[in-house]
A and B are shown apart, each in its own frame.
Chain A
Amino acid sequence: MASLSAGKRNPGTLVPIGLAVAYGSALVLLPIAALLFRITTIAPADFWRMVTTPAAVAAYQLTFFSAGIAATINTVAGLVLAWILVRYEFPGRAITNAIVDLPFAMPNAVAGVTLAFLYAPGGPIGRFFDPGTPLAEVFGWFGITPVQLVYSQMGVILAMVFVTLPFVVRAIQPVLMALEPEVEEAATSLGATPRQTFWRVILPLLIPSLLTGFVLAFSRSIGEYGAVVLLSGNIPFSTLTAPVYIYQRLEEYDYGGAAAVSFVLMLLSLIILLLINLLQGWSQRYDD
């Protein structure tokens, strides 16, 4: 009679394990090994020079700054959206809930094309920001003239906000749903106003998931290429993000420079992934 241990020790299971290992190695490990191999062929001084060229440094600065702004916008908007989807009844709630996921399913090149068309100067939405319009004057008070919503840093941020929209909403939603009403009722019965209940009771419980959403959005924004390349105009030292910089190095057959900056971005992705794992461990502690 076959027992569990016999089933587990069945040499047949070695075949699937071997297959999975082979597949993973060919798909992921070999390419990463190739990058590391390439990096080791570059002298350290050259490597440093390649990752710190003025154009590369300008690209990192733009990328991180824009990703930070985009992730902040989406953390606030994501909290609002998750809140109304979980707490309120309103017509069209199910559709709204589905629309939140659309940026995830929509190809980013398509998003880039349609956003560029809509928000370009004179475009269906962009025209409301053209010189002389009331909105342009409001922006003028802050010293932004003319208002360039695309082919500018605002275009970079717009692209990043679009592609990372679902991240914060989907990180908070389950936590907000699992939040027990007793906690809030207790706060209210102890005399807290709804505002106090939100700031002192609910928000602290949401912080781990808000942070997870922020980091996910930030990391995805840094790597984003499709929507950014179509919306940013890609002007060196002004609107050229790090992934687009890598792409341009490749087009000029500067494989060393492209590999060096790719290495920096990949290292960053690994660090962020570690951070996300830690954050998720933290937020799961609050789950039970």
Chain B
Amino acid sequence: MTIDQERPEANQGRDSSSLPPLGSEVAAAVSTPLRPPSPYGKWALISLGFIFLALLVVFPLINILVQAFAAGWGAFMAGITTPEARHAIWMTVLITLWVVPLNTVFGVLTAWLLARYRFPGRLLILGLLDLPIAISPVVVGMLVMLTYSPTIGLVGPFFRSQGIQIVFAWPSMVLVTLFITFPFVVREVLPALQEHGHSAEEAAYTLGASPWQAFWRVTLPNIRWAIMYGIILCTARAIGEFGAISVVSGKVIRQTNTLTLHVQRVYGEFDTVAAFGASLLLSMIAVVTLVVQLGLKEKRE
């Protein structure tokens, strides 16, 4: 409104003088107040964003808290300490303890190779890096079944002859989670390595450092926050994985049930307090992840 009212005045001012001095147009334009238009638009947009986030994220999160304690503290504790729940928590911890260190070490290694070396197939790998995120978790589970199932798997019969059970046991659950969380560390570390460039490492080589010393003393300190960030994302994802694990685990109670599978099972049995109690444990991990993420973001910037 204000701009529309002032604009004709600016034009009139320009028309009235036949030969304006240089720069007067610019001065006139700058002196016109540049927006801020109506404050209503701003607050309408902010409210719209708030409503959307409230309906989709905030209410569901509050609902978990309310339902977990709907029958009191005792019922909540009873719900998350049944033998089934305790075993499910242990399975989730076990999988995370396998997945996070492996994917951290190999994620940093892969990122380092991609950042420092040019080799055939490098661009293909860069393009396919996000495949585990793009692909459906059910398909990931299916792939592992087709590889390791003792009856239909490509290499399954070999492992069966060795007496090793992979499918419907924890090894396959670790494998699918490794697959799904592989990109997280790589994607955080790769840009950090590219940003810091090669020159410091070169200097270390010139001073007689071995590649290992150069990596450990020069490269690693530069990328440590990126690695931390990747580890956090990888951990959150490993703990929350559901689709691929439900395909390969067989969902045997007190054997191959993880915490997310446990949530689905008890919710299906209308045990709301137990379902939301376990959900609360899982969402607390998500909230902690976010808080740590925020802290790390500041550190890195």
Contact = CB atoms under 8 A, between A and B. Distances in A.
Nearest to A111: B60
Interface in B253-294: 260-261, 263-264, 267, 272, 275-276, 279, 282-283, 285-287, 289-291, 293-294
A28 B131 contact: yes
Interface residues of A, number: 95
B214 A194 contact: no
B76 interface: no
| Most chain B C-beta atoms within 10 Å of own C-beta, residue among A90, A107, A188 | A107
Contacts, number: 276
A80 B45 contact: yes
B155 to A, nearest CB: 7
Contacts of B275: 113
Interface stretch (A48-56, A203-211, A219-227): A219-227
B264 A230 contact: yes
A235 interface: no
Contacts of A108: 240, 242-243
Given A107-B242, A114-B276, A247-B246, A265 B67 contact: no
Interface in B9-44: 26, 29-30, 32, 34-35, 37, 42
A117 B273 CA distance: 12
B56 A161 contact: yes
Contacts of A7: 205, 210-211, 214
> Sorted from nearest, which 7 A-B pairs have the closest CB atoms?
A223-B136, A107-B240, A225-B243, A31-B143, A189-B29, A105-B286, A34-B154
Interface of A: 1-4, 6-7, 10, 12-13, 16-17, 19-20, 23-24, 27-28, 30-35, 37-38, 77, 80-81, 83-84, 88, 90, 94, 96, 98-118, 124-125, 161-162, 165, 185, 188-191, 193-194, 219-220, 222-226, 229-230, 242-244, 246-247, 250, 255, 258-259, 262, 265-266, 269-270, 272-274, 276-277
Given A105-B286, A107-B283, A109-B242, 19 more contacts: A2-B205, A12-B212, A17-B117, A28-B179, A35-B146, A98-B293, A105-B285, A107-B239, A109-B261, A109-B264, A110-B279, A112-B264, A113-B263, A188-B3, A189-B32, A191-B7, A229-B264, A250-B145, A269-B131
